[in-house]
Amino acid sequence: MKREYKILIGGVFFTGLLFLIPSLMGYIWAGLFLSLFGSVIYLIVLYRYGKKNFINTDSGKVTLIFLALLIVNSLAIFTFDYYRADTQRELLREIRITIDSSIIETEIRAELLEVYRAYLLSNEKGDDVSVIEVATDFFGERLKDDQRFQVKTAELEKELNFVYYTDPGSDSFAIFSTAPLSQSWDDDFENWNGSVGLLQTKTTLTKEGVTHERQN
């Protein structure tokens, strides 16, 4: 095999290997960057090797300019694609957070409003019951011993987590919600379930009504 073919095949193998190893480990962008870096080195070596075979000085200059433009163009495309992918990732994250937050607020607020309505009706009858008593009676077996709250729409529990908390001092019943797939505002925020940085909301029922807040 001619030496030129060996150099060409070796360059292809070298740059391919630089991309393949990080990619198999899950680092796609690192693989692309290393393969780009390897390609630049390879082109420089190829230019120096073929320099002596140029017909004249002008041919060498034209080739050098072409290689420089090729390298600059490749770097520009890589940079543009990297930042575009990063922007798209952030956009998808915000869309996911918005969807999860809206679902949580709609589902939990609606349920607690039903409890609040039952609380008002009970007190109108003169039963003099607390918010916690009404909520406990209303949800029944959906309030688990480990503080887990079972929502009415069972499909939501595949992607969202819910727990309840009662405060006899203020006679309040609260439901905390987290979305395991939604990384939110503060990456260092400690969620109630031990996770860090996830979307978390708190919906609270008191004798004044229902409030909903996004904690992260």
For 141-197, write each residue's pLDDT tens digit: 998 988 899 888 777 777 888 999 999 989 999 999 988 877 777 888 888 888 888
pLDDT band per the 50, 70, 90 thresholds, residue 132: very high
What was the pLDDT predicted at 50? Answer: 65
pTM exceeds 0.85 for this model? no
Q: Which residue has the higher pLDDT, 98 or 136?
A: 136
pLDDT band per the 50, 70, 90 thresholds, residue 205: very high
Weakest mean pLDDT among 36-45, 120-129, 200-209: 36-45
Tell me if 97 is assigned to some domain.
no
Domains: count for the chain: 2
- Same domain flag for 109 and 57: no
What the block records as the tokens of 31 is: 């693989």
In this structure, the number of other CB atoms found within 10 A of the CB of residue 167 comes to 13
Contact (CB, 8 A) for 78 and 36: yes
- Domain range for residue 185? 104-214
- Same domain flag for 182 and 80: no
pLDDT at 124 over 70: yes
Mean pLDDT along residues 5-27: 66
Could you tell me which of 45, 18, 21 has the C-alpha nearest to residue 33? 18
Contact (CB, 8 A) for 211 and 182: no
Tell me if 41 is assigned to some domain.
yes
- Same domain flag for 115 and 82: no
What was the pLDDT predicted at 56? Answer: 57
- Same domain flag for 115 and 79: no
Weakest mean pLDDT among 28-37, 49-58, 62-71, 201-210: 49-58
